[in-house]
Structure 1
């Protein structure tokens, strides 16, 4: 019975710790530690195993142990492949569920060590179900059939210790003398290297992401280079990878060998991307950045003026956002690597971002789509993808003005935002000769649940106001419906509030009294402009405290603050 418990504990520990590096020694230490529990049987041992995995992450013994006791490597089944995409605590929750615990029991057992509730358990199990396409019995069968301890080393008996030690010593000498170099090369090629995604995976989905990004580049078959890159990132004490490491690119760029890698931190967190360079006099990881979303993004390669482009994006062109109108420059891409852009483009300005437009043609069929991204000039910064709430007729002039406002007019902080969704809530003439303006809404995909923002911009993208608020966010199914900002004319401050279809009435309350604007048309846009205090003395006196209430046609209402 003890051996049966040990085998189950070892399997759990191995599958939790497995990041593609065969962690048998670490798993055996965890299982042995859990076996020290003398009362309570297997449930108590499993609880101790959970505590060790979550509170006392076991260290490794370096690479030499693989020579003697690592299992035979073979391609993982659907369940193991799905677990490699999860972070360790998510793997543990799934395995406990398949080990017979209910979601509340798992939440209680893990919750004593890390924040984890039964909703998280259900989410992880559903994710593995979707990735494997197998039912519960088939998943459990694969798990129970997996035996990490293939060499079946059992605890030695007292009488056989000396004999086993002698045999092991002879084996060490023979291996080192006769086959040392061969084993070293085999170890170099087979352990520690990053995983790769099959080249055809992205064609099977209509919305490919970084998780379907195959490895590209002329050095993608150089196993030694890939292993050194993955090992260097794992050894990074500041920003090591989480979960399994994948290669996105391996090639020669401007005389240096370059490997671009990404990790697998789990379902809730977008992956990190690391860039490893080997030059004549140096080698190492030179940048690590967190993607703000999992959509396929352009990645700047060091300070080479080049970008890595996923294979599903074609017809790449770029422009500087500082111009009043776009001057597009075609950008050639070969094997995932773009030609260098003009170095003079990489000067401080507009938050150090460039505008890229590309075409996505779904391999599964469908109409080509234009993809817009604001790619950074810094390899450590994100590349937000931009979406538009367009009217029935696509307005290129508005789109460029919105991009200029975001990049150059500080309508959004690009280094902190994920994907952006931009919309036009109102366009028209401002009072007191303020000219024509547009109330632009800006919703960001991250951090999750970030309230929507708004800004008043001129037709050329100049920001005419500070940022305001909206009653929407990126995840809202209905999108942004109302917004409010403070705008300063030559003489005084004005509260400018606007609403799109679905809002029947806008009402402002606060220190400026009560003001209201309504409509009977369900498809009408509302504008409410309320004069405020004199513009003189702004520094000495704060703006009045006001709130705008948006009444929806179905009776619901939301409250917006202009700042």
Structure 2
């Protein structure tokens, strides 16, 4: 078959000088020498849904079955490490490991015999023990969550790049040899995970350095009778699955179960859900989701909780799944914490927390058709960031579940600081519905936000179309304050509608900072310069806006936008921005402003002019193109935000 892509070299024909042959002894020598690396490779490519213990055994099994039965042709892809460079035995064994690990992730077909790699390994086996790698840190956990959301081929791309140090051309060859049809799609999908390849060498992903735990203990002496009972139950369940109707009814909208493993079943057991004590938040020094009690009128409904957990682990084709950018959507690694289960408006809602994410499951009160599953990152959330979760949205309104320490809730229009507060009823931590700006279309005239009060003070939160509202602050980036004071509200008011620019971006917090005020030419009053910075839960994807507000205007104008820059942030609390402005007398000016640490501003390009200090006003013409340069205290240069 001809290879169409120009990035892939054609395979040598049979009998060509580059077509190498591997015998059993050569492959065995490579397998023995590089066994730990090959097992790690298999462990990382295998589907995470198998559970850590089963992945360990399956990885060893696949590596041990990688030997050829006789003499075999080796692929032309050499290893990249000097210790394995040019070793056809290692290249052959590695290809077999990748191929069988990818096959293990394929779903079983009803009318086809399963492949050997899709079945539980006969050997090696360890009876009475669960084996799993040593736990890593938060970075390894986050990477494992990201990899679990990838397809098998994309995981293989990431691992071959990071563990084997293969360039993309060689990765294409390996995946093509392994039988992957859509190699380009796998390469693109793998690009969505940050290249933190050094973490792949962590003990978290080492299936040769293991911890052991017992599987049963007290029930072991009754093993025989339990096995017979389990076999009988399996036969009955198998008969039920083949009957027409709902099959595994309690799982609702979840996809069918293709494989079972104890770890996954434990995470999906509603009886093992974590429930914080109702008084835990009163004595704990923490103000995060871990001390939220389970609330709602359906926290004891095992059937509902089972459906929510099952859909989380394997959502069916009809389930609407959404996630904030950078949020893994894989199943929980252990029993999650229950925050809420109850009837809300026209449906039933379950909210769960696994330490890294908030998951919200919703279904109609009758049946499970139209079920929805939403995810949002919540790692490190504390204080105001862990004060509310969106419970429901209906008819342009949003209802929140608030933290147990919240004593008062109110609604205010951020664009009208003098309009005051409208109190919202709190019932078992649930707010009355308030108008949501997340669904605004057309011209923006108002921006309603949620104000929550607890023993430490008040904070503002804005719905940006996601599970967790964004925390609004005001002030210099190195020391932002809550945006509930009169000065902060006045600063926010002309720029409230700029929040629409960051809807649906996984925003964690938004700070606005009035960094300068400028007297306008032609006695036109004074203008305010504001910098607004939106931080995301994933770290990357920050948005910075420079905005300008003149007297008499209802809302400010955005003069510059930038993404993933340090300007106007904690690490670099400096900003320089400019705008072409027309006075009431009809004259055009280039106006520019920097923060108070700016000592000199100069216009470049199509406009010439400079000024000492942090403000600049230069006459110009309509449509002029100009750049900005500034000098900070200490002599550091700064460019205009763009």
Shorter-normalised TM-score: what interval?
0.5 to 0.7
Q: Does 1:499 align with 2:582?
A: no
Structure 1's 394 and 314: CA in aligned 2 closer, same or farther, altered over 3 A?
A: closer
Shift of residue 109, structure 1, vs aligned partner: 6.7
Once the two structures are superposed, the pairs formed by residues 518-557 of structure 1 within 5 Å of their partners are 518-519=612-613, 526-534=614-622, 543-557=623-637
SS of alignment partner, residue 232 of structure 1: helix
Instruction: Work out whether residues 197 and 214 of structure 1, in 8 Å CA contact, stay in contact via their aligned partners in 2.
Output: no
Structure 1's 472 and 117: CA in aligned 2 closer, same or farther, altered over 3 A?
A: closer
Aligned position for 1:37: 66
Deviations 1:330-374 (A, max 9, x none): 33434442233479999867488521222466xxxxxx3543211
Cα distance in structure 2, aligned partners of 1:404 and 1:54:
54
Deviations 1:265-323 (A, max 9, x none): x8xxxx57443124125544336365598543531413174212234555332213343
Aligned position for 2:524: 434
Structure 1's 116 and 495: CA in aligned 2 closer, same or farther, altered over 3 A?
A: closer
Q: Does 1:328 align with 2:421?
A: yes
Cα distance in structure 2, aligned partners of 1:70 and 1:280:
45
SS of alignment partner, residue 311 of structure 2: helix
SS of alignment partner, residue 135 of structure 2: helix
Aligned position for 1:226: 305
Structure 1's 75 and 190: CA in aligned 2 closer, same or farther, altered over 3 A?
A: farther
Deviations 1:55-78 (A, max 9, x none): 97444799xx99xx9999999998
SS of alignment partner, residue 489 of structure 2: helix
Cα distance in structure 2, aligned partners of 1:73 and 1:223:
29
Q: Does 1:144 align with 2:206?
A: no
Q: Does 1:285 align with 2:351?
A: no
Aligned position for 1:244: 331
Aligned position for 2:503: 414
Q: Does 1:87 align with 2:178?
A: no
Aligned position for 2:431: 338
Shift of residue 229, structure 1, vs aligned partner: 1.7
SS of alignment partner, residue 165 of structure 2: helix
SS of alignment partner, residue 321 of structure 2: coil
Instruction: Work out whether residues 568 and 575 of structure 2, in 8 Å CA contact, stay in contact via their aligned partners in 1.
Output: no
Aligned position for 2:460: 372
Aligned position for 1:108: 165
SS of alignment partner, residue 618 of structure 2: strand
Aligned position for 2:448: 354
Instruction: Work out whether residues 406 and 412 of structure 1, in 8 Å CA contact, stay in contact via their aligned partners in 2.
Output: no
- Could you list the runs of 5+ residues in structure 1 that have no partner in the other structure? 93-101, 129-135, 152-167, 362-367, 520-525, 535-542
Aligned-residue CA RMSD in angstroms?
A: 5.7
Shift of residue 37, structure 1, vs aligned partner: 1.4
Cα distance in structure 1, aligned partners of 2:519 and 2:233:
88
Instruction: Work out whether residues 85 and 243 of structure 1, in 8 Å CA contact, stay in contact via their aligned partners in 2.
Output: no
Deviations 1:159-208 (A, max 9, x none): xxxxxxxxx99974476469999xx9999995635785563798866673
Deviations 1:12-41 (A, max 9, x none): 74997456x758778766654443311799
Shift of residue 439, structure 1, vs aligned partner: 0.6
Cα distance in structure 2, aligned partners of 1:381 and 1:486:
39
Instruction: Work out whether residues 506 and 549 of structure 1, in 8 Å CA contact, stay in contact via their aligned partners in 2.
Output: yes
Aligned position for 1:156: none
Cα distance in structure 2, aligned partners of 1:70 and 1:221:
37
Cα distance in structure 2, aligned partners of 1:330 and 1:71:
61
Shift of residue 560, structure 1, vs aligned partner: 1.2
Instruction: Work out whether residues 529 and 549 of structure 2, in 8 Å CA contact, stay in contact via their aligned partners in 1.
Output: yes
Cα distance in structure 2, aligned partners of 1:169 and 1:49:
35
SS of alignment partner, residue 308 of structure 1: strand
Aligned pairs, how many? 492
Structure 1's 221 and 16: CA in aligned 2 closer, same or farther, altered over 3 A?
A: farther
Aligned partner (choices 568, 572, 575) of residue 481 of structure 1? 575
Once the two structures are superposed, the pairs formed by residues 182-201 of structure 1 within 5 Å of their partners are 192-193=268-269, 199=276
Instruction: Work out whether residues 529 and 546 of structure 2, in 8 Å CA contact, stay in contact via their aligned partners in 1.
Output: yes
SS of alignment partner, residue 298 of structure 1: strand
Structure 1's 192 and 319: CA in aligned 2 closer, same or farther, altered over 3 A?
A: same
Instruction: Work out whether residues 26 and 59 of structure 1, in 8 Å CA contact, stay in contact via their aligned partners in 2.
Output: no
Instruction: Work out whether residues 415 and 447 of structure 2, in 8 Å CA contact, stay in contact via their aligned partners in 1.
Output: no
Instruction: Work out whether residues 437 and 447 of structure 2, in 8 Å CA contact, stay in contact via their aligned partners in 1.
Output: no
Instruction: Work out whether residues 531 and 568 of structure 2, in 8 Å CA contact, stay in contact via their aligned partners in 1.
Output: no
Aligned partner (choices 547, 552, 555) of residue 455 of structure 1? 547
- Could you list the runs of 5+ residues in structure 2 that have no partner in the other structure? 1-27, 69-87, 111-118, 150-158, 172-186, 218-226, 241-247, 253-264, 323-327
Q: Which moved more, 1:503-512 or 1:457-466?
A: 457-466
Aligned position for 2:347: 256
